[in-house]
Structure 1
Amino acid sequence: MDLQQSINILKALADPSRLKIVNALLERPQYVEELAQRLDLAVSTTSHHLKKLEAAGLAGKEKEQYYVVYFVREEVFDLSLRHLVGFRNPEAGVQDQRLQDYRKKIIAAFFEGGRLKRLPAQYKKRLVVLEELAKRFKPGVTYSEPEINALIQNAYEDHCTVRREMADNGILEREDGVYWLPDSREAASPGIRKRKKKMDKRKALKREYMEAFRAPGICKITNTANGKVFLAGSLNVEALVRRHQSELKLGSHRNEELLKDYKELGAEAFTFEILESIEQSKDAGFDYAKEVEVLLDLWLEKLQPYGDKGYNRPPKTR
């Protein structure tokens, strides 16, 4: 997903009326007049909001007899917030350069001939200066307190203040009078340093979560009494199966015909299976949502789960 797609989705949802429309469509597909009546909106206003949702890829429409029926695009609503904000930042290089220029400006203002003229009063500038002084230490080397003092004193007289602030801000690690640089400069950032143990645990959990690839794919619900089937796709096909099972059990499934048969025949008359799943791609930019859409179209074409054969809505005729 690129930046513009994320912006379009977030903008489309940043409206109370559109959120209410989405909420209604999540229950079941509906036509414009029905939504307008339900939400107490003008038909023209409802149409306007639906066009915005459709343009953002959040909703789709199909013509059924005399009505245009709108529905939510399940594959988009299966996206997590991480997907929306995890786009490739086109300005990353420019942003990094701005940060480097900012640091260079501070260093030029407070250093002269390799020596620090004074410590900045502003905290964020002070950190830049302390990190610049820390370049005098070598990674993987331990230093005694006198050694640290001597290296700092080469650049600034008040070695005690600098040493203490480096340790307090995590720029230097300290234990039993021995000092050393942290494993990475990121780990030395003050906010991260103060929550290091907690963050390490969270990072480990996050890594485990991210490594546990949740396969996208297509699932099929079969009515064993009459052979009718229902097909659906998702970026997390196992979760999709569980969701359909739960919605049918709770009586909240959006497919009214499927729900009616489920209530009449009972859970034992229905089977749930994963028809096809997508393996994890080595390509970081692989579009799983598009692949799910293509796979679903192929399975719909193959099984034709419409009318007497299934519960899916037939495609629009051109």
Structure 2
Amino acid sequence: MEDTKKLEHLKKMIDDLKSVGNDIDVAEEIRRLETLSTKLEREIIDNYTAWDKVQIARMMDRPRSIYYINQFVTDFVELHGDRSFKDDQAIIGGIGKIGEHVVTIIAQNKGKNAKENIERNFGMPHPEGYRKALRLMKQAEKFHRPVVCLIDTPGAYCGLGAEERGQGEAIARNLMEMARLKTPIIAGVIGEGGSGGALALGVADRVFMQENTTYSILSPEGFASILWKDSSKAREAAEMMKITAVDLLESQIIDNIVNEPLGGAHKAPEEAAKMLETYLISQLDELSRISKEDLVNQRYERFRKYGTFFE
């Protein structure tokens, strides 16, 4: 907390000096203070707790999937509906180009305000959302397009209607079909990755997380409620759950961490989009050189080894 106050004071001093003018001595002092500010901010970020990462991942002004699609997916054409019930706005799906690669994009999307969140059901898909996603994946396989999944959900919607229409079956079918899909798949968490709702888009050849995101079996609040019957212990639960990108890379649950601008993607969305685009292009280039049979076999082995240990 003390370091945060120092950082705020430094930034105020910088803003005050910038309003003075362009005197050489002033400019030199601004550069010195900016160097100190960047160093202090880096130290604060390096000491972020798991709960800090949870808060950043949930920020309303964090870039959403639709922002990234608009930033670096060219010629994007959105496709709608599961051909059975309706179009689920919590999942965006379509075709576009990332670099020189024509891909199928499937992305969970939260809103940037209350109205958008209601339209997008707060990023919590219904079963028809997962069926739409699977329809587009199978289409991608048919036309030899890689699949890119962007994950950002607190979990699949658990309302009565969703359960009646087969929420569990829809998620399970996605897991099965993605495991044997004969086309490259890249999946990554760009905000919250909650429970089976996230995993339903997470069976991939490359799984990544942005630096300040979380991926977990349920929310820290839910974990604390089950374990201690007290949701107020969510901060403690977050540390125990090992839900940050660093934790999951160490456990080999994910393959890569995609860096964010200093302080989080919300601080410089355009820069965050460029970092994500660069990563996706590099992985698409790499996966395009692997045969479809090898991709499926490696994907199967990758997920089969989860949970194994040696004494």
State the TM-score, normalized to the length of structure 2.
Answer: 0.21
Return the TM-score normalized by structure 1: 0.21
Greater relative CO (CA pairs within 8 A, separation 6+): 2
Q: Which has the larger radius of gyration?
A: 1
